[in-house]
Amino acid sequence: MAAEESKIKNVAIASDDSQSIEKEEEIKHEKETDLGISLDKLSLGPKKKLLVIPLGGLIVHRAHVRDRATLPKNRRPDLTYGKFKVYKRPFCEEFLRFCFERFEVGLWSSAMEHNIDKVLTQIIGELKTKFLFTWDQNQCTKTRFTCFGNDYKPLFLKELKYIWEKKYSSGEYSSSNTLLITDPEKALLNPVLFYIFNLIFYLLINTAIFPKEYDIKNKNDDFLGPNGELRAFLDGLADAIDVPSYVKDNPFGEAAITPSHPHWDFYSEIISSGGKEESSDDEFWDSDWSY
């Protein structure tokens, strides 16, 4: 009888211990959940950095039929519309998938909206729906200047402040977590400018890189490929603490336009005017040329 009572007592104790352990585990789980929610709330920035890419020069090459020197002789265009021929760059779709996995990706082209949509549909198909945003000429700053050495090509600028002013479902962006890929002249107004006694001081903030444009005649182009230098650069950027420090420590592509540039007199005029110059020919600035 005593043995049976002892057995029952041990079972009861074991049951109590089991319930106690379960209760402790439940409390621990609740605390971890609460902590996770708290940490999520404290994480004010987006989980992925923002990568802003162009269309022409990186993903495709677009050429006017009159520019015969830029047309390859042994390759058919992937798309023809109007007087333009468009050539898809090798590895462009794989490259975009690579980018979408590591970044929030926005596309910003200085072409007109209807032309961008046409090219994206033909060249990358459904991948175009993965962009955080698709911006065109309307979101660019019309400088009223033409590109250096080409009086027929209007110069459009891409000012990152317009992106940073907006709120996105993925978070808010700033100079610390945004990288723009473009041409050096299109990023002219992104460095910080300040004036002391009417002198312009130009502070480079390292929020952009400037790869050389796609050379359509290079049959061995693998710049966007798995072993290409751009993927290696972006792989490191995805894990970096912030964009400006990484860009500064890992120079890539062409140099930014600064006061040491040989044509600084030309570009400083654009900067000091805020990109605005009077012109009466508005149709010229609603241009189909730029990409």
Structural domains of the chain, ranges and CATH numbers in brackets: 50-285 (3.40.50.1000)
Interval 239-285: pLDDT, tens = 999 999 999 999 999 999 888 899 988 888 888 877 665 444 444 44
Rounded CA separation 108/250 (Å)? 23
Rounded CA separation 174/163 (Å)? 8
Q: At what angle do helices 229-239 and 92-102 cross, to 10 degrees?
A: 10
* The pLDDT value given to residue 209: 97
User: 128 in helix, strand or coil?
Assistant: helix
* The pLDDT value given to residue 240: 97
Structure tokens at 12: 């009861």
Residues in the chain with pLDDT < 70?
Answer: 1-46, 192-203, 275-291
Residues paired with 84 in a beta bridge: 64, 81
Cross-sheet strand order for the sheet of 178-181: 133-135, 104-108, 50-53, 178-181, 208-209
Rounded CA separation 95/226 (Å)? 8
Q: How many residues are present in the chain?
A: 291
Interval 58-88: pLDDT, tens = 999 998 888 877 788 888 999 998 888 999 9
Rounded CA separation 255/246 (Å)? 15
Rounded CA separation 205/180 (Å)? 12
* The pLDDT value given to residue 245: 95
Rounded CA separation 187/178 (Å)? 13
* The pLDDT value given to residue 195: 53
- pTM for the full model? 0.79
